[in-house]
Amino acid sequence: MASRNFYIQLIIRVLLLTLTAILVAFSLVEQWYFTFGFCVILLTVQVFSLISFINSTNRKIAYFFDAIRNEDFTLRFPERVTIKSFKELNQSLNRVNGLIQEVHLQLQIREQYYQEILKQASIGIMTYNEKGHIMFANPTLEKLLDYTPLNHIKQLLQVDENLYHIFKSFQPFERKLFQLSNEREQTQLALKSTPLTLDGQSLLLVVVQDIHKELDEKETESWVRLIRVLTHEIMNTITPIASISDSIIKYYRNNGKITPLEELEESQIKNTLKGLEVIKEQGGDLMDFVQSYRSLLHVPEPNKTLVKGKDLLEKIDVLMSARLQGGGSDFKVVCDPEDLEFFIDEKQIAQVLINLAKNALQSVGEIDNGRVIMAAGIDHNGTKYIDVLDNGPGISPEVMDEIFVPFFTTKSEGTGIGLSLSKRVVQLHGGGIQVRSVPYKETHFRLTFA
């Protein structure tokens, strides 16, 4: 409405200005000098009035935007003016100013709310720019590092030199583990970085979490699982030995006295030999078990070289094809991109892949249309991976947490060392193994490499 009245007044003023200009020209031609002089003065007044009219509106709008830019919402335009268009314009500007002020207050409240959440968060949070200037560091981070206030990452040199170098060279989406030591305690920190852009400035958001307690709990849980499996395996071996030994002792000792040789029967001697053979067999199994444990503890450091992913998967394909002869299952390898390379110990990783492929083929061996896929690629974070997928019976939730525990197995044959040894090998490569399973749909093992 204000805009329409403004244009109407502008048109009227322009028309009057035009008529006055015509009258000036006409009076000059007719040599009406008095009229000519009056019209010139009138034309000058109209031009000055038009300029003032337009500038007054522009100045109001300019003042309005300057006030908004400076977050000054106290500016009010007078609404009691004689010119209707100015009155409506002033009312509109005041209404818009009120709405912007309300939105600004809501944003301030929301910002304070988020700031309070960050301050009370149980994890440390820091953002810093490319020059190392720290834009934000919450109290939790300052408490973890025992340093306040934090203004630049160079201050981390006073906390720990190695920690400073981690922050200095941190890359987007990178994860790090760091053990921070001081006079009182040792703290295990997990660090994760995420890039972000604020007001055109590139920043790095780093989340720091104390995982010492979680690691202690996980370590204790792992020891409990391992001891439970070790106890089960050892008891299965020792129990028959103890039982047979007790039976043999009864042959040769009666009422605390040694039985004379002439009183021994032939059947007792034969049973003794059989018992000793069983004891020998059980002892051999126990030795094999101990040897498996030693192999887990003494995995050699990987001898890494650049290996083409396509060539590696084709070797596995050849080895697995021999196991598929006469079977109804399907084994397929995919490498995308085809020129993908891994910096790995080829022999060690090949053995891991063979173990996973064998497990997958055994899983789909008893079902129709069994399918196993081994695929290599790069995810959206730039992490290289090798997947092993099958559509077999899968892994039940009850044993999912146990499959990487040494000597745990659900098979009637096997030592249960395969998956735990595979995990150890991948960890020595700086990577990890993840698994998820939906029975009879997809079981997915993923090997990731740094």
Whether pLDDT at 112 is above 90: no
Average pLDDT over residues 89-107: 77
| Domain boundaries 305-449, CATH class | alpha beta
Q: Which of 46-60, 184-198, 275-289, 411-425 has the lowest mean pLDDT?
A: 411-425
Burial annotation 142-166 (CB, 10 A radius, 16+ → b, else e): eebbeeeebeebebbeebbeebbeb
Say which amino acid occupies 235.
M
Say if residue 258's pLDDT is above 60: yes
* CB distance 403 to 419 below 8 Å: yes
The Cα 50–Cα 305 span in angstroms is 82
Nearest to 443 by CA among 335, 376, 348, 362: 362
Taken in order 104, 109, 113, 115, is the CA torsion positive or negative? positive
Q: Residue ranges per domain, the chain?
A: 2-111, 123-210, 219-297, 305-449
> 164 near 180, Cβ under 8 Å?
no
Instruction: Say if residue 219's pLDDT is above 90.
Output: no
Spatial distance between the Cα atoms of 450 and 435, rounded to a whole number of angstroms: 18
Reported confidence tier of residue 403, pLDDT bands at 50, 70, 90: confident
Beta-carbon count within 10 A of 42 CB: 15
pLDDT (mean) for 60-82: 69
Model confidence at 178, pLDDT cuts 50, 70, 90, reads: confident
Label residue 89 by pLDDT band (50, 70, 90).
low
pLDDT at 333: 92
- What value does the mean pLDDT take over residues 46-53? 77
Distance CA 111, CA 119 (A): 12
Quick one: average pLDDT of 382-405? 84
Q: Is the pLDDT of residue 197 over 80?
A: yes
What is the crossing angle of helices 84-120 and 33-69, to 10°?
A: 10
Would you state the structure tokens that stand for residue 385, as one six-digit string?
């991976």
Q: Copy the structure tokens of residue 236.
A: 């299965």
Sorting pLDDT into bands at 50, 70 and 90, what band is 311?
A: very high
Q: Which residue has the higher pLDDT, 103 or 426?
A: 426
pLDDT value of position 52: 75
Per-range mean pLDDT, top range of 217-231, 409-423, 427-441 = 427-441
CA distances from 268 to 53, 242, 278 (A): 128, 18, 15
Residue 308 pLDDT class (50, 70, 90 cuts): very high
88 near 81, Cβ under 8 Å? no
Mean pLDDT of 391-407: 77
Question: Taking 80 as the threshold, does the pLDDT of residue 231 lie above it?
Answer: no
Supply the pLDDT for residue 8. 75
d(CA 23, CA 41): 12
CATH architecture of 123-210: 2-Layer Sandwich (3.30)
Task: State the average pLDDT over residues 55-68.
Answer: 70
- Please report the pLDDT score of residue 344 as a whole number: 92
Q: What is the DSSP letter of 152?
A: B
Nearest by Cα to 207 from 199, 215, 195, 216:
195
Q: What percent of the chain has pLDDT over 90?
A: 12
C-alpha Rg value of the chain to the nearest Å: 42
* Cβ-contact 198, 177 below 8 angstroms: no
**Dihedral, 227, 231, 237, 240 alpha carbons, nearest 10:** 170
432-438 and 175-181 as β-strands: parallel, antiparallel, unpaired? unpaired
Q: What is the pLDDT at residue 227? A: 67
The one-letter amino acid at 255: N
CB atoms within 10 A of CB 416: 20
295 contact partners, CB below 8 Å, separation of at least 6 = 417, 421
pLDDT of residue 78: 67
Read off the tokens for 362.
């055994």
Q: What is the 3-state secondary structure (H, E, C) of 207-261?
A: EEEECHHHHHHHHHHHHHHHHHHHHHHHHHHHHHHHHHHHHHHHHHEECCEECCH
In sequence order, which residues have a C-beta less than 8 Å from that of residue 83 and are 6 or more positions away? 9
Instruction: Flag whether pLDDT at 142 surpasses 60.
Output: yes
Judged against a pLDDT cut of 90, whether residue 377 lies above it is answered with: yes
- Contact between 126 and 150 under an 8 Å Cβ cutoff? The reply is yes
Q: Which of 51-55, 103-107, 294-298, 354-358 has the highest mean predicted lDDT (pLDDT)?
A: 354-358
Q: Lowest-pLDDT range, 24-33, 266-275, 283-292, 381-390?
A: 283-292
pLDDT at 216: 67
Query: Does residue 416 carry a pLDDT above 60?
Result: no
8 Å CB contact between 340 and 307: no
pLDDT tens track for 324-346: 655 667 889 999 999 999 999 99
The reported pLDDT for the residue numbered 2 is: 47
Alpha helices, DSSP H, located in 375-443 = 397-400, 418-428
| Selection from 97, 96, 79, 76 nearest residue 88 by Cα | 79
| DSSP string of 275-290, one letter each residue | HHHHHHHHHHHHHHHH
CA angle 333, 376, 427 (to 5 degrees): 120
% residues pLDDT > 70 (the chain) = 80
Tokens 């890359």 identify what position? 171
β-pairing verdict for 442-449 and 384-390: antiparallel
Distance in angstroms (rounded) separating the CA atoms of residues 360 and 372: 7
**pLDDT at residue number 289:** 66
CA nearest 409: which of 427, 421, 392? 421
